[in-house]
Amino acid sequence: MSPLGSFQRYDQPRPYGAVVRTGPFPLVLEAIPSALLAVRTALAQGAHGPAGPALVRYGLIAMEGVMTIEIGYPITPASASGLETSLRLGTLPPGRYAETVVNGPYEGLQAGTAAFLAWGEEAGVRWAKEGASGDCWTARTEHYEVGPESTADPSQWRTRLSFLLAP
């Protein structure tokens, strides 16, 4: 992981196609590979392909309870308007995001995310969250820039964490 987070502004909404999975923490994570295959298949049937690397958008995060995540791929704005599919079509909202990169196998993502959140707390970052409990994130994503689709060597994997900041 990079030692510190950085800030990035996205001026336009970023569309994606995804499937939604809800359940206990380990089960929703185990669903990621099959969900990505389902999304790639649905996009191909509509003569569209992914417009970037796979992503997971975390909505409700309850490590000891039920989580809700969206698993999919970015798509072009033109694809989003013309795509007839069973996929959930969503957008990552424009705004200012804090980002970092976690290198290596996915088993390191939980520790990398914890370190990133600790950095944010130390830096006084306010994350964009919804709901009374604050467990529902507006835009908390992992972007699998290099992963099993590109190389079988987990030491080469690269995951970008990108979390929307509160206005």
Q: Which domain holds residue 120?
A: 6-164
E-state strands within 12-152: 14-24, 55-60, 66-74, 88-92, 95-103, 129-130, 136-146
Asked if the structure places residue 29 within a domain, the reply is: yes
Asked if the structure places residue 1 within a domain, the reply is: no
Asked if the structure places residue 128 within a domain, the reply is: yes
For the whole prediction, is pTM greater than 0.85?
A: yes
Query: What length is written for the chain?
Result: 167
**pLDDT at position 100 over 90:** yes
Indicate the number of domains in the chain. Answer: 1
Asked if the structure places residue 155 within a domain, the reply is: yes
CATH of the domain at 76: 3.20.80.10
Measured at the CA of 141, the angle between CA 162 and CA 83, to 5 degrees, comes to 120
The pLDDT tens digits for 16-65 are: 999 999 998 888 888 999 999 999 988 888 767 899 999 999 998 877 77
